[in-house]
A and B are shown apart, each in its own frame.
Chain A
Amino acid sequence: MVLQIILGVTLTALFTGSLLTYLSRLANKFNLLDIAHEQRKIHTDQIPLVGGIAIFFAVCLIFPMVAKTGDGHLDSCYYIFGASTIILLTGIIDDKVNLPALAKLIIQFSVAFFVVQSGIYLSMSHFTFGYVLFPFEKIISIVFMVGLMNAYNFMDGIDGLVGSLFFLFFLWAGLAMYYLQMDHYSLLSFMISGALLVFLNFNFSEKQKVFMGDGGSLLLGFLVGTFFILIVGAKTGSQAKAQDVIGVITAGMIMLPILDAIRVVIARIKHGYSPFHPDRSHLHHILLQITKSHFRITMAVFFAIIIFTVISFVVLALFSISHVLTFWLVTIAVFLFITYSQNKMFQMSNALKFLEKP
């Protein structure tokens, strides 16, 4: 199995690299470019939006070559590939022609419905003292998936940010699923993280810069949601503590995008705008007020998440799950306080320009 993973990751990485170079050139022809015509865009050139496509194609092509046939999860894997294709296509079309938000949402909900119907949904019976809330579990799972993919899509605004978050998640998911003996999913996760590492190299480079595109961030966000459900729902037999550990770390990793999306959406609704109204209130916009370096912001967020999950793990190991939840509540409060105050400070300092104008 380890050999399989190493082979899969190497092949995917190589293939992603060549695909990215090739597709970047093709993107010019098909006009799949991000052009800085809107005020809120941060870069200034024309950048190919092919990251998601390259990662998806590389994984799709290499996975059947290295995966062992005949195992239980393989069918589900192809379900997921099918759903992914639809999301990616929607994203590509959206990158080209800007679909209305409602149309995108409908497609996203149908895809999530399709996946949930195939048997992947959050089981919540241990929250409800054994009562099965049958339709609610599925509805909540659908909302969770759609919410999460859009949350990751919201995070995609500066070089490397969403890419490194995805990389971290899929690396962890690969390890966790390896431990949980979900071999195919584990392989798939590791392959995606390998592809993302190559993508990040391109994303940060000056000459060959590519972006993930809406398709890419939505697709990978959707996969994060699916894998989250799979990991949290997996049975670890008698190892109850192991299940807690895996659950806490996995949840800790996806918390930031969810929290930031909720913050942004609530603020927009409060000001009377649509939840998808474009503005400059996302986390990366707020961090850009502090430093202009995309690399430093990405690294700060990346290590903040690692530190956060490590502390959660330590708290869980030393105390209990309720202490972890307390720690999370405190962190959320601190996060909200800092983002709110920083934004206020920025606005105030703009409002005070008149004091310094000659």
Chain B
Amino acid sequence: MKKKVAVIGTVGLPANYGGFETLTDHLVTQLGDQTDITVYCSGRRYPKEERRSHYKGAKLTYLPLKANGVQSIPYDSLSILHALFFADVLLILGVAGAWLLPFVRLFTKKKIIISIDGIEWKRDKWSWLAKFYLFWAEQLAVKFSHIDISDNESIQDYTALRYGSLSHVIEYGADHTLKVPVTEKDLLKYPFLSRPYAFKVCRIEPENNIEMILQVFTQFSIYPLVLVGNWNKSEFGQTIRRRYAVHPNILLLDPIYEQRSIDLLRSNAHVYLHGHSAGGTNPSLVEAMYLGLPIIAYAVSYNKTTTEHRARYFSTSEELLEHLLITTPEALAEIGLQMQSIADRRYRWAYIANKYQHLFEKVFEQKGKPQVAPIIKALQPDLLRTYGAAHLNHQKLFFQ
């Protein structure tokens, strides 16, 4: 019999938005014939006439709430409660509804798999109250789930450090992005395509180090920077746009939601800049890697593990400028090839979906959460000393 899986915590399908939605879309595509998937969707994002009962074989259930912000707490909670009536496995993406998990564990035998996303409570974009809630909810999420998923090895280090339990690392896929050759029509619309340019796409938030990168391109003039983002969403974005848009070497574009256009701009870039400092594995970085772009990324551990330490990294504007000036086109091409080979190996949806399918089976067999501390810790230190093995008590673990 097919297992019934409820996917909770996304905006919904068909995917138009962030990483979790794209992930769900691909899970449904890849696993549709092995599992019976139900996806909860936000009725606020899908008006009545756009709604459908099924999508690629998955059942869609709409809730009249927003999936983001404060409303994500009742949205996730209601989804969890509803899913208890039919699902065997709850796949919860994000920790907003985690306050319910102790009760779910206490009163039902449903299996819970939760993806904690990045270290959300550390992100500066949240208010103190939101951080506080996320910090606490994440603790419940890890302690009361059967399996927790990190999207990056550095996040796995973090859960090992904080909870002493071993998290499963599953990243994102990128093979939905395509290399798009430039046509005559494209050149009319985007004239900069005819020459090399640096490219970056991101949400316009301080944590993405936009100012640092723009600062560099006011001094660097060999090729221009094209930056796509939601400039008009915040005061911060508008201020920055006003300050830097006048510079001849900088091109600030409004967000592009059409897949071909964004792939066109990305895949023809000379170099891809990635300034994200928060979260774990960023889908935009993975996608750039899959396109074989040479990557210069901000030097946080998440980006380093995503690119397997083989891209170029900067932490100050001086370092970025140096990379741009020194790195030869041959070296850049070499980086691009390496990135592509990593992405081919790790960031394919079929591979990612298989990992999820494996967890859907493993969750029924696993007894208790795997701990990071070695079993030897359970023995008395005196006993170890008696047998001359006290050194076993002082092993360094992978996150130390």
Contacts and interface: CB of A to CB of B under 8 A. Distances in A.
B315 A341 contact: no
Given A345-B121, A349-B122, A355 B132 contact: no
B301 A356 contact: yes
A102 interface: no
A341 B135 contact: yes
Interface residues of B, number: 20
Interface string A329-358: 000000000100110110011011011111
A149 B157 CA distance: 45
Contacts of A354: 301
Contacts of A338: 132
Nearest to A344: B135
Given A352-B119, A355-B157, A345 B132 contact: yes
Nearest to B134: A345
Nearest to B135: A345
A356 B161 contact: no
B162 interface: yes
B300 A341 contact: no
Interface string B307-325: 0000001010000000000
A356 B300 contact: yes
B399 to A, nearest CB: 9
B299 A358 contact: yes
Nearest to B154: A355
Contacts of B131: 345
Contacts of A344: 135
A199 B157 CA distance: 50
A290 interface: yes
Interface string A296-326: 0000000000000000000000000000000
B396 to A, nearest CB: 14
A341 B136 contact: yes
B120 to A, nearest CB: 12
A327 B379 CA distance: 45
Interface string B268-298: 0000000001000000000000000000000
B300 A355 contact: yes
A354 B301 CA distance: 8
Given A345-B121, A345-B131, A349-B122, A355 B136 contact: no
Contacts of A290: 128
Interface string A6-25: 00000000000000000000
Contacts, number: 36
A114 to B, nearest CB: 45
A67 to B, nearest CB: 47
Contacts of B135: 341, 344-345, 348
B144 interface: no
A356 B122 CA distance: 11
B161 A351 contact: yes
Contacts of B136: 341
Contacts of B162: 348
A338 B136 CA distance: 10
Contacts of B55: none
B30 to A, nearest CB: 31
B158 interface: yes
Contacts of B349: none
B231 interface: no
A338 B162 CA distance: 18
Interface centre among A342, A348, A355 (most CB of B within 10 A): A355
B315 A352 contact: no
Contacts of A351: 161
Given A348-B162, A355-B158, A356-B277, A341 B301 contact: no
A348 B132 CA distance: 12
Contact of B301 (A342, A348, A355): A355
A343 to B, nearest CB: 11
Nearest to B136: A341
Contacts of B302: 355
Contacts of B132: 338, 341-342, 345
Interface in B109-136: 119, 121-122, 128, 131-132, 135-136
B84 to A, nearest CB: 27
Interface of A: 290-291, 338, 341-342, 344-345, 348-349, 351-352, 354-358
24 contacts: A290-B128, A341-B135, A342-B132, A345-B131, A345-B132, A345-B135, A348-B135, A348-B162, A349-B122, A351-B161, A352-B119, A352-B122, A352-B158, A352-B161, A355-B119, A355-B154, A355-B158, A355-B300, A355-B301, A355-B302, A356-B277, A356-B300, A358-B313, A358-B315
Given A338-B132, A342-B132, 5 more contacts: A345-B135, A352-B122, A355-B302, A356-B300, A358-B299
Interface of B: 119, 121-122, 128, 131-132, 135-136, 154, 157-158, 161-162, 277, 299-302, 313, 315
